Homo-oligomer: A and B are copies of this chain.
Amino acid sequence: MRIPYSELVSIFSGILRKRGMDESDSFLSARLFADASRDGVHSHGADRFPKYVETIDQGFIDVTKKAVKEQGIGLVERWDGQKGPGNINAWICTERAVELAKEHAIGIVALRNTNHWIRAGNYGIEATRHNCMAILWTNAMPNMPPWGSRDVIIGNNPVVLAVPHGASPLIVDAACSMFSYGKLEKYRAEGKLCPVDGGIDENGNVTRDPAAILLTRQLLPTGYWKGSGVAIALDLIAAALSGGLTTREVGALPIETEVSQVFIAISMEAFPDKSAIEEKISLTLEEINGASPLHDGGSVHYPGEGMKRNREESDRTGVFVRDDVWQKILALQR
């Protein structure tokens, strides 16, 4: 079904208020979930909301706490997420990195002891709204094997790269695994194969069969050996900068919590040649849009354009939410 954006925000925030979250935080958190669905990222929007509430109800997310500055080490600010809501903490640290960037051209905030930031792209989009580029990443619980192994001991550690470009920023939001568990479950439910290799089956062979991958949990890293190395490095750099837990340490906890994240913002406003830079960005993105498609009738887009199209459609017709998900959400109001 299609729900007006404002109704979605209002229902989400009401549910969070009932769990003791204060008014402004519950509105912010609600908005971040609604934004994800509005942009077409359902897996990290309405679909994910019931699990978020469940984690609050189980006591793993403390809705009365949020990120506070712990210490400044040179140009790096370390923040403690205090096991508060991951999306609110990530928002606070994005805003802080943007603030530092406005002052110093670049701002670096490292956050430890936080929860899953849910939809990563939100923070990249927010940085671009302040005319900042952004480089953001998080570690995760162990959810894929390092290259050459069958043991699920590294995280898929999603990364965001954002570049402002008016209302159509470039937003790369990509995990170091080729597919997420959510995506694999979706392909399995639809009886489809993954469009490209997605994991390793129980015989140790690369496969596109989502059911076989969900069985072994041996997700394929993005770019095989490359994504494996990148994921390991991002985990260690995030833990070092923040003073927080590594994927290995998160794996020893009962659920995925106390993760480590990095927020780097770069303010375009700080550069004397800002107009020249904006021109270069426009020319590159326009060239990509004007490129010949691989197949007749296709079109060529850069990351972020799809979510913008979805947002425009949602604003016209309401935000799509699956019926069963909507029923689950309504039940949380009681």
Contact = CB atoms under 8 A, between A and B. Distances in A.
Interface of A: 73-76, 101, 103-106, 108, 133, 135, 145-151, 153-154, 159, 161-163, 170, 172, 174, 178, 196-197, 200, 204, 206, 222-227, 229-230, 232-237, 239-241, 243, 246-249, 266, 268, 270-273, 276-277, 280-281, 283-285, 287-288, 291-295, 298-303
B148 A301 contact: yes
Contacts of A105: 73-76
Given A150-B293, A178-B226, 10 more contacts: A73-B105, A133-B240, A148-B299, A148-B301, A149-B291, A161-B229, A172-B230, A223-B226, A239-B277, A243-B277
| Interface of A (DSSP majority class) | mixed
A280 B236 contact: yes
B294 A149 contact: yes
Contacts of A162: 233
Contact of A294 (B108, B200, B270): B200
Contacts of A287: 153, 248
A237 B283 contact: no
Q: Identify the interface centre among A103, A149, A151: most chain B CB within 10 Å of its CB.
A: A149
Nearest to A286: B248
A106 B74 contact: yes
Given A149-B294, A284-B232, A288-B232, A74 B170 contact: no
B133 A104 contact: no
Contacts of A145: 291, 294
Contacts of A151: 291-292
A239 B277 CA distance: 8
A232 B271 contact: no
Given A74-B106, A294-B149, A294-B204, A241 B266 contact: yes
Number of copies: 2
A74 B104 contact: yes
Contacts of A133: 236-237, 240
Contacts of A103: 74
28 contacts: A74-B103, A74-B104, A74-B105, A75-B75, A146-B300, A148-B298, A150-B294, A153-B287, A153-B288, A161-B234, A163-B236, A163-B240, A170-B233, A172-B226, A172-B230, A197-B197, A222-B226, A223-B226, A229-B302, A232-B288, A232-B302, A237-B266, A240-B277, A241-B266, A243-B271, A243-B277, A248-B283, A249-B280
A288 B246 CA distance: 13
A239 B276 CA distance: 10
B271 A240 contact: yes
A149 B240 contact: no
Nearest to A243: B273
Contacts of A226: 172, 174, 178, 222-223
A104 to B, nearest CB: 4
B288 A149 contact: yes
A320 to B, nearest CB: 22
Given A73-B272, A174-B226, A299-B148, A266 B280 contact: no
A239 B75 contact: no
Contacts of A248: 280, 283-284, 287
